[in-house]
């Protein structure tokens, strides 16, 4: 918000807004927001933590603001990355030109745990593997954005993007009159259009049947699944609601079986088809992969998409952009050391206290080390784990992340934030002007994951 101690212009009106807001009103509005979230049931269960299954993700009322110029750059960068990642996926499940050209090590691709041999040779409809690409971005300066990681499988959090806007418009309608904020509510229409646009060859209907496949109501993101299905007007199905017969997938309805054309699955590859992947999975649909392979159904994201968001493959994304698109990357990668490489590992071990170390296949902020925040003992024990299995880890410098004003007990204070825009890839590439801003609510903390006590904010893109 501040630059050289001056309030940056996009935040100017917000500065007045907060100054004019007495503490009592702020508490009142905060309570109202919480009651709203609890009533609509947008809660978040953290795996393995027990406690309140209806825990709310803390919502911070202070919005995060982008100017139109800043957003245009982000938009270009995000769409560019989404295109390159999809081109990469089609390539590596096809001829593998990028590997032949020596731009990425063959082992990293073909021996990757997320590489699905079952998908080899498949070109999904419109050549799209990852239909919803969530790209986590941080900002370190006025014009410097870094991509922290890509999410090509089933990025979550978009319900928060939409609901945070909803609650802000409800709590502070005045703000929306005074500031010209780009709307984001076309997201669900665009998502449905994107999914319908990738209907498989064998679908002859002009209105394909799209369903959202959820692991079930015990899943921590179940709210989001049902919320999205509702906004799109599509059925929310569990594995047991679907079955394969002949060349198609069907859902069980009160009127008998109904053919399904596109499955937006919020389930990992390993669980979607017990005949093809994990035989013990109760969540999937036996025989689904056969139907998919023969063009009877489309799956979004396509099985195998996960290899593109692997944290070790991440390093090669700028190379992909140059290789497939012939363009220079608009958004930078964070410099990354691959602990699998002995030189990199040595550097990481020598500089552990300054680095952030993550598991290649980890997510949710679990199993990571933030060097500057770690105790001596933690550093030592982490170094041991690194030496034992270096291929499991990558390391990055601790970035001077940007902060956004955030309401805390003592008033307003700067807190670190990141941003996850959701890029839609189908017949066209679409990005609504906004995203999910996550905020590390603990002073000085850099970890924004909701499973680690992070909160969320509304994200504004100002119209010209």
In the complex, the residues that contact other proteins under the rule CB under 8 A are 38-41, 217, 222-223, 226-227, 229-230, 235-238, 240-241, 251-257
For other proteins, the closer of residues 260 and 419 by Cβ is: 260
Minimum distance from residue 85 beta carbon to other proteins (Å): 30
Contact 441, 44 (CB under 8 A): no
For other proteins, the closer of residues 16 and 230 by Cβ is: 230
Contact 394, 358 (CB under 8 A): yes
For other proteins, the closer of residues 40 and 334 by Cβ is: 40
For other proteins, the closer of residues 227 and 264 by Cβ is: 227
For other proteins, the closer of residues 19 and 254 by Cβ is: 254
Minimum distance from residue 216 beta carbon to other proteins (Å): 8
Minimum distance from residue 188 beta carbon to other proteins (Å): 12
Minimum distance from residue 22 beta carbon to other proteins (Å): 29
Minimum distance from residue 346 beta carbon to other proteins (Å): 52
* Full 3-state SS string of the chain: CEECCEECHHHHHHHHHHHCCCHHHHHHHHHHHHHHHHHHCCCCCCCCCCCCCCCCCCEEEEEEEECHHHHHHHHHHHHHHHHHHHHHHHHHCCCCHHHHCCCCCHHHHHCCCCCCHHHCCCCCHHHCCCCEEEEEEEEEECCEEEEEEEECCCCCCHHHHHHHHHHHHHHCHHHHHHCCECCCCCHHHHHHHHHHHCCCCCCCCCCCCEEEECCCCCCCCHHHHHHHHHHHCCEEECHHHEEEECCEEEEEECCEEEEECEEEECCCHHHHCCCCCCCCCCCCCCCHHHHHHCCCCEEECCCCHHHHHCCCHHHHHHHHHHHHHCCCCCCEECCCEECCCHHHHHHHHHCHHHEEEEECCCCCCCCCEEHHHCCHHHHHHHHHHHHHCHHHEEEEECCCCCEEEEEECCEEEEEEEEEECEEEECCCEEECCCCEEEEECCCCCCCCCHHHCEEEEEEEEECC
Q: What is the dihedral of CA 168, 170, 176, 182, to 10 degrees?
A: 60
For other proteins, the closer of residues 151 and 214 by Cβ is: 214
Minimum distance from residue 263 beta carbon to other proteins (Å): 14
Minimum distance from residue 416 beta carbon to other proteins (Å): 33
Contact 57, 160 (CB under 8 A): yes
For other proteins, the closer of residues 35 and 413 by Cβ is: 35
For other proteins, the closer of residues 128 and 236 by Cβ is: 236
Minimum distance from residue 54 beta carbon to other proteins (Å): 9
Minimum distance from residue 219 beta carbon to other proteins (Å): 11
For other proteins, the closer of residues 35 and 400 by Cβ is: 35
Minimum distance from residue 55 beta carbon to other proteins (Å): 13
For other proteins, the closer of residues 133 and 263 by Cβ is: 263
């Amino acid at each position: 918000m501040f630059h050289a101690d001056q309030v940056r212009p996009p935040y100017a009106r917000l500065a007045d807004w907060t100054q004019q807001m007495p503490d009592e009103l702020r508490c009142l509005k905060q309570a109202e927001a919480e009651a709203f979230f609890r009533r609509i049931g947008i809660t978040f269960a953290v795996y393995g933590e027990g406690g309140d299954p209806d825990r709310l993700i803390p919502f911070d009322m202070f919005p995060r603001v982008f100017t139109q110029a800043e957003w245009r750059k982000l938009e270009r960068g995000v769409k560019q990355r989404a295109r390159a990642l999809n081109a990469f996926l089609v390539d590596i499940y096809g001829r593998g030109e990028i590997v032949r050209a020596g731009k990425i090590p063959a082992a990293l691709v073909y021996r990757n745990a997320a590489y699905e041999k079952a998908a080899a040779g498949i070109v999904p409809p419109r050549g799209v593997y990852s239909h919803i690409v969530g790209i986590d971005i941080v900002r370190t300066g006025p014009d410097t954005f870094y991509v922290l990681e890509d999410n090509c499988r089933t990025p979550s959090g978009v319900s928060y993007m939409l609901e945070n806007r909803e609650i802000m418009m409800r709590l502070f309608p005045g703000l929306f009159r005074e500031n010209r904020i780009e709307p984001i509510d076309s997201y669900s229409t665009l998502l449905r259009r994107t999914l319908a646009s990738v209907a498989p060859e064998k679908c002859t209907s002009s209105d394909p049947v799209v369903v959202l496949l959820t692991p079930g109501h015990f899943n921590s993101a179940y709210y989001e699944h049902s919320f999205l299905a509702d906004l799109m007007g599509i059925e929310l199905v569990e594995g047991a609601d679907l079955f394969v017969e002949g060349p198609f997938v069907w859902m069980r309805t009160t009127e008998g079986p109904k053919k399904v054309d596109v499955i937006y699955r919020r389930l990992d590859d390993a669980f979607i088809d017990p005949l093809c992947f994990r035989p013990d999975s109760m969540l999937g649909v036996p025989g689904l992969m056969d139907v998919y392979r023969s063009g009877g159904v489309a799956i979004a994201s396509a099985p195998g998409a996960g290899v593109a968001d692997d944290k070790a493959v991440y390093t090669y994304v700028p190379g992909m952009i140059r290789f497939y698109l012939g363009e220079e990357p608009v958004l930078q990668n964070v410099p990354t050391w691959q602990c699998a490489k002995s030189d990199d590992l040595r550097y990481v071990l020598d500089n552990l206290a300054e680095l952030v170390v993550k598991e290649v296949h980890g997510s949710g902020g679990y199993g990571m080390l933030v060097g500057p925040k770690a105790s001596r003992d933690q550093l030592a024990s982490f170094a041991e784990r690194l030496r034992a299995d270096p291929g499991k880890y990558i390391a990055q410098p601790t970035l001077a992340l940007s902060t956004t004003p955030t309401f805390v007990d003592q008033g307003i204070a700067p807190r670190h934030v990141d941003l996850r825009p959701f890029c839609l890839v189908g017949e066209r590439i679409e990005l609504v002007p906004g995203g999910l801003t996550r905020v590390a609510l603990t002073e000085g903390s850099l970890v924004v994951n909701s499973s680690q006590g992070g909160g969320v904010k509304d994200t504004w893109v100002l119209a010209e």
